[in-house]
């Protein structure tokens, strides 16, 4: 790998939903198409990150492969030599580097991470591992720093919820570089990341039942969430029962009509048309049912097409790509790990 590295991953803790598709999966696939000639693209499934909050472990292995297939069905090319696909846990250096970085990470700094605070809010501090805040959740940013620093990655496209973790990775790289001479390439600053990728416009598809909340994989009820694996007819039903409002006129106004605005947003995304065109067609009309029917049909057709592409993903090809990429990636990661081990005195210089 001799080019600058772009690194990106998507957690496989459940089937992905339509928000993940338009907010993360498609941007990654588009980025891979646009950048792969000039950059090395490390696209990995962070399976070790999957259970920092409780999951169904019976599903994890299959879910990880499924997640990769979703990328392929969404258009990720499997035959580009600069796109490297791998599973985090298949590269043991991630875990080893995490331990080393742990010992150079401040407890106080990790305690201030907003994602940790958010995600631990709903968990308790008891000894029950099913309900408690795990050390893994606390440690999440250190594992993420290892994911990045092992490959000297420069660019990491993340949403606003993860920018603090990028700052943390930069911090620890700088700290270790000054203590042990240069061992890591420091990832680009958040500002430079935004310049490179264009600042994430913060697309947030809302839950269909509670449009004040964003659609989430881990939502308590799946009634408001359209999963990519949903039966297309059921997905259409979910759209038809989406919560709207009593205003009586269609407006694109997320503050006052979040439900209707969410439907208009989804319609623009599914039709791949500018929002203005969709709004020009619908704003001012009064029949919410017509909008729902149109969107329900578009969603049903989209899912039918996507699921057909998913079913035809060549699993053999995917597995052989994973096998050869994981071999390459292990070599790169182990070389970096050895540099670090030498620096901290675990191996002879
Ligand atoms: P969880 O409930 O487990 O946190 P999630 O649905 O919030 O799941 P994440 O794994 O946190 O999904 O995020 C994966 C990616 O999908 C991130 O890049 C995130 O910005 C994007 N994403 C998540 N939810 C939405 C949404 N509702 N609309 C658009 N993008 C989203
Ligand atoms: Mg989330």
Check if the beta carbon of residue 197 is closer than 8 Å to that of residue 187: no
Q: Tell me what pLDDT residue 185 has.
A: 97
**Are 255 and 220 contacting, i.e. CB atoms less than 8 angstroms apart?**
no
Residue 177 Cα to ligand 2 middle (Å)? 32
Q: Does residue 111 sit in the same domain as residue 14?
A: yes
Ligand sitting nearest the alpha carbon of 24: 1
Q: Is residue 137 within 6 Å of ligand 1 at its C-beta?
A: no
- Within 8 A by CB and 6+ apart from 23, the residues are 159, 203, 204, 205
Whether ligand 1 lies within 6 angstroms of the CB of 10 is answered as yes
Other beta carbons within 10 angstroms of residue 71's beta carbon come to 23
- Give how far the C-alpha of residue 327 lies from the chain's centroid of Cα atoms, to the nearest Å: 24
Q: How far is the CA of 216 from the centre of ligand 2 (A)?
A: 6
> How is 128-170 classified by DSSP, letter by letter?
-TTTBPPHHHHHHHHHHHHHHHTTTEEE----GGGHHHHHHHH
Tell me: the pLDDT tens digits for 71-112? 999 999 999 999 999 999 999 999 999 999 999 999 999 999
Across the chain, mean pLDDT equals 94
Contact 68, 85 (CB under 8 A): yes
217 in any annotated domain: no
Residue 206 lies in a domain: no
Among 79, 71, 6, smallest CA distance to 324 is for 79
Residue of 8, 9, 20, 27 to mutate, ligand 1, most atoms within 8 A of C-beta = 20
Same-domain status, 294 and 322: no
Distance 176 CA to ligand 1 centre (A): 32
What pLDDT, in 10s, does the model give residues 189-217?
999 999 998 865 678 999 999 999 999 98
Shared-domain flag, residues 22 and 170: yes
Let me know whether 332 and 231 are in one domain. no
Give the per-residue pLDDT at 201: 62
* Local structure of residue 183 (DSSP, 8 states): -
pLDDT at 165: 97
pLDDT in tens, 143-175: 999 999 999 999 999 888 889 999 999 999 999
Split at pLDDT 50, 70, 90, the class of 14 is confident
Distance 5 CA to ligand 1 centre (A): 23
Q: Which residues are catalytic?
A: 119, 214, 217
Q: How far apart are CA 297 and CA 304, in angstroms?
A: 11
pLDDT interval class at 129 (50, 70, 90): low
Please tell me the distance between residue 9's alpha carbon and the centre of ligand 1 in angstroms: 12
Q: Which of 9, 12, 23 to mutate to test the pocket of ligand 1 (most atoms within 8 A of CB)?
A: 23
Question: For residue 125, is pLDDT > 90?
Answer: no
* 91-111 core/surface letters (b: 16 or more CB in 10 A; e: else): bebbebbbebbbeebeeeebe
Looking at residue 46, its pLDDT comes to 96
Q: How far, in Å, from the CA of 22 to the mean position of ligand 1? A: 10
Nearest protein Cα to ligand 1, atom 20: 159
Residue nearest atom 16 of ligand 1, based on CA coordinates: 20
Give the C-alpha separation, 106 to 87, whole Å: 28
Residues 178, 271: one domain?
Answer: no
Look at the chain and report how many structural domains it folds into.
Answer: 2
Handedness of CA 279, 283, 286, 288 (dihedral sign): positive
pLDDT at residue 339, rounded to an integer: 98
Angle in degrees, CA 169, 331, 165, rounded to 5: 10
**CATH code at position 262:** 1.10.240.10
Ligand 1 atom 10 nearest Cα: 11
Q: Does residue 204 fall inside a structural domain?
A: no
Q: Per residue in 218-247, pLDDT tens?
A: 788 999 999 999 999 999 999 999 999 999
Q: Which of 75, 71, 72, 92 is nearest to 20 (CA)?
A: 71
- Domain containing residue 319: 5-197+315-344
pLDDT confidence of residue 62: 94
For residue 207, which atom of ligand 1 is closest to its CA? Answer: 27
Which ligand has the shortest distance to the CA of 159? 1
pLDDT of residue 298: 98
Q: Show the tokens assigned to 16.
A: 């992905």
Burial 222-245 (b: 16+ CB within 10 A, else e): bebbbbbbbebeebbebbeebbbb
Atom nearest to 204 CA in ligand 1? 28
Same domain membership, residue 295 and residue 232: yes
Q: What is the pLDDT of residues 60-82, one digit of tens each?
A: 999 999 999 999 999 999 999 99
* Phi and psi, residue 210, nearest 5°: -120, 85
The number of the ligand 1 atom at minimal distance from the alpha carbon of 11 is 10
* Strands 83-87 and 153-155, bridge-based pairing: unpaired
Q: In this structure, what CATH number is given to the domain that contains residue 89?
A: 3.40.50.620
Q: Does residue 253 sit within a domain?
A: yes
217 lines ligand 1 (CB under 6 A): yes
Domain match, 122 and 154 both: yes
Check whether residue 64 and residue 77 sit in a common domain: yes
pLDDT confidence of residue 127: 67
pTM > 0.85: yes or no: yes
119, two tokens: 């995600």
pLDDT for 246? 96
Q: Is residue 212 part of a domain?
A: no
pLDDT in tens, 275-313: 999 999 999 999 999 999 999 999 999 999 999 999 999
In a domain, 202, yes or no: no
Res. 54 pLDDT band, cuts 50 70 90:
confident
Across 21-45, average pLDDT: 95
Q: Is the CB of 49 under 6 A from ligand 1?
A: no
Quick check: 197 and 155 in contact, CB under 8 A? Answer: yes
94 plus 156 within the same structural domain: yes
Which ligand is in closest contact with the Cα of 218?
1
Q: What is the pLDDT of residue 130?
A: 67
10 and 149 assigned to the same domain? yes
Q: Judge contact between 239 and 299, C-beta under 8 A.
A: yes
163 & 88 share domain: yes
In a domain, 213, yes or no: no
Percent of the chain with pLDDT over 70: 97
């Amino acid at each position: 790998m001799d080019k600058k590295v772009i690194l990106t991953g998507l957690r496989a803790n459940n089937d992905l939903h339509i928000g993940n598709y338009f907010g993360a999966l498609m941007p990654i696939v588009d980025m891979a198409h646009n950048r792969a000639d000039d950059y090395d693209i490390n696209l990995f499934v962070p399976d070790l990150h999957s259970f920092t909050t409780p999951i169904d472990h019976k599903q994890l292995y299959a879910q990880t492969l499924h997640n990769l297939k979703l990328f392929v069905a969404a258009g990720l090319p499997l035959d580009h030599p600069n796109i490297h696909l791998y599973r985090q846990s298949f590269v043991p250096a991630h875990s080893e580097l995490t331990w080393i970085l742990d010992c150079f990470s401040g407890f106080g700094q990790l305690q201030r991470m907003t994602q940790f605070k958010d995600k631990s809010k709903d968990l308790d501090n008891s000894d029950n591992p099913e309900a408690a805040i795990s050390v893994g959740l606390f440690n999440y940013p250190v594992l993420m720093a290892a994911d990045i620093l092992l490959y000297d990655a420069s660019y990491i496209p993340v949403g606003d919820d993860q920018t603090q973790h990028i700052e943390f990775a930069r911090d620890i790289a700088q700290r270790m570089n000054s203590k042990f001479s240069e061992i890591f390439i420091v990832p680009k600053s958040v500002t430079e990341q935004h310049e490179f990728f264009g600042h994430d416009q913060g697309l947030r598809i809302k839950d269909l039942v509670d449009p004040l909340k964003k659609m989430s994989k881990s939502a308590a009820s799946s009634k408001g969430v359209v999963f990519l694996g949903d039966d297309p007819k059921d997905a259409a039903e979910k759209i038809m029962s989406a919560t709207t409002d009593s205003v009586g006129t269609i407006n694109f106004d997320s503050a006052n009509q979040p439900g209707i605005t969410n439907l208009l947003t989804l319609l623009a995304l599914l039709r791949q048309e500018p929002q203005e065109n969709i709004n020009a067609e619908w704003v001012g009309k009064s029949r919410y049912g017509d909008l729902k029917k149109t969107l329900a049909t578009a969603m049903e057709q989209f899912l039918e097409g996507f699921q057909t592409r998913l079913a035809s993903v060549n699993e053999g090809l995917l597995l052989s790509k994973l096998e050869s990429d994981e071999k390459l990636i292990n070599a790169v990661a182990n070389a970096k790990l050895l540099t670090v081990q030498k620096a901290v005195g675990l191996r002879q210089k």
